Amino acid sequence: MPNLEPVIGLEVHAQLNTRTKLFCACPTSPAEEPNTYICEVCAGHPGALPRLNDKAVELATKAIVALGGQVNAYSLFSRKNYFYPDLPNGFQTSQLDPPVGSGGGLRLTLPTGTEKYIRLNRIHLEDDAGKCVHDEKRDRTLVDLNRAGTPLIEIVTEPDLSSSREAVDFLKKLRNLLVRLEVTRGRLEEGEFRCDVNISLKPQGSPTLGVRTEIKNLNSFRFVGQAIDYEIRRQTGLYESGQAVEQQTLHFDHLKAETRPLRSKEEAHDYRYFPQPDLPPVRVSPELLATVEKSLPLSLEALTSHYQSLGLKAEVMENIINHHGAPTYFEETLKIFPDPKRLGTLMTELFLPACRQAGLEPGQALLRPAHLAKLAQLLAEGQLGKRAAYEIFPDLFASGSNPETLIQAKGLALVSDSAALSDWARAVVAAHPAEVAKYQAGQKKILSFLVGQVMRQSHGAADPQKATQALEALLNPTDQPG
């Protein structure tokens, strides 16, 4: 028996971040009661006509461009016919040919360090179905159509993945990208990002693909990994015992960690796709494409090299990149006070942890970029000590006030008043005759110890530079003019 090699492809469904449904004005937000966000269109009343949501087309275009695919200027909606109780029209409105996007892909870094490009076959628009809810008490199944008509994009990969690990890495990277672009909110537990997995085995190196099975509707990265590993073991077992793998659609039972058949697999022709006569072709104008291209944030690779050129440390860089909304906030702050290293440190050590704790995105924080920039400037100019900055930060974050006002109110500004500094310096010199003698005998390094003592005397309020000058004036009287 030759070594068998898994061949895996994914069909990812991402719910688009729109306020309303794909073909009507019903809200996409969660409703408290079943069947409240519905109308004639999404409830499939005869004669009701759908109207396409422009925002959905814009978001799909954004995803296609970011994934390096081709945006088709002209695409068509088709009816995908099947019966299911939560599908009131008796068909799903989807795209067969041409879809809104073709090609593209994502680059993965394998554990060996080598890179692998996972190609996309297509990206298309479609609407979601409602939900069947089983009422255990009354032993009946009820239909909730609140979700019916919610806009989705389906992202279909080529069968370029070879292990559960690659599949999970791909999904995580794809989700991060789409969330960063605000194409989807991507909440897995809400089913806003879910996928079907196609999987088959073939003898290593063989160009012919084996019979594949499809595992439906996985909405957790862990389940995707478990389902793929289970299916690889199951299919290997069948081949080894001389049995055939049957083309099937499977359900993954996460409690038993195994797949179970749902139905024998359909082909495209089983759905009797035909062009949806109620909708005109989808057109993506050159203007829309240009607007989308301009609105795209830098790719992850471009952002990383931009941050490297600013001299940010790897840790600071990762922190900013992986925090949703942080790169934009960082850029805005940088425009006001262009000191990337100091700002990067403030973001990583103070601002982002505070955002996480408050459950806020950077853009929602009361502390605006101008005031964070001001804080960095006060530190850079020596008007505020690091310790004082840490001390006022919680208040600053909670109130969003100007740091200068807060520092004055709390009396935290560094003291650079020469009378006060001379007093502290004199007291330190008097208290440390041995160190003073060493300094005057030529051990100039001991000065930093004495500066430290002045800082201590002043409870951190002295400006260290001015303290050094005050000490030097006392210890080197010959330097004094006159």
Query: Contact positions toward Zn ion, by CB under 5 A?
Result: 24, 26, 39, 41-42
d(CA 458, CA 420): 9
**Could you tell me how many residues make up the chain?**
482
> 258: burial class by Cβ within 10 Å (0-12, 13-18, 19+)?
middle
CB 412, CB 389: distance < 8 Å = no
How far apart (Å, rounded) are the C-alpha atoms in residues 388 and 81?
67
The nearer residue to Zn ion, 42 or 108, going by C-beta atoms, is 42
Query: Looking at beta carbons only, is 151 or 210 nearer to Zn ion?
Result: 151
CA-nearest of 414, 382, 417, 379 to 396 is 379
**Which residue, among 436, 431, 417, has the nearest Cα to 475 in the 3D structure?**
436
Q: Which residues contact 355 (CB under 8 A, 6 or more apart)?
A: 323, 361, 362, 365
Minimum distance from residue 28 beta carbon to Zn ion (Å): 10
94 three-class SS: strand
Pick the closer one to Zn ion by CB: 128 or 169: 128
Q: Which is nearer to Zn ion, 152 or 177 (CB)?
A: 152
Residue 23 beta carbon to Zn ion: minimum distance, rounded to whole angstroms: 8
44 or 460, CB closer to Zn ion? 44
Which CB sits closer to Zn ion, 22 or 392? Answer: 22
CA-to-CA dists, residue 424 to 293, 467, 479, angstroms: 61, 8, 20
d(CA 450, CA 444): 11
Q: Are the C-beta atoms of 177 and 18 separated by less than 8 Å?
A: no
- What is the sign, positive or negative, of the torsion defined by CA atoms of 251, 252, 255, 257? positive
Q: Which is nearer to Zn ion, 45 or 283 (CB)?
A: 45
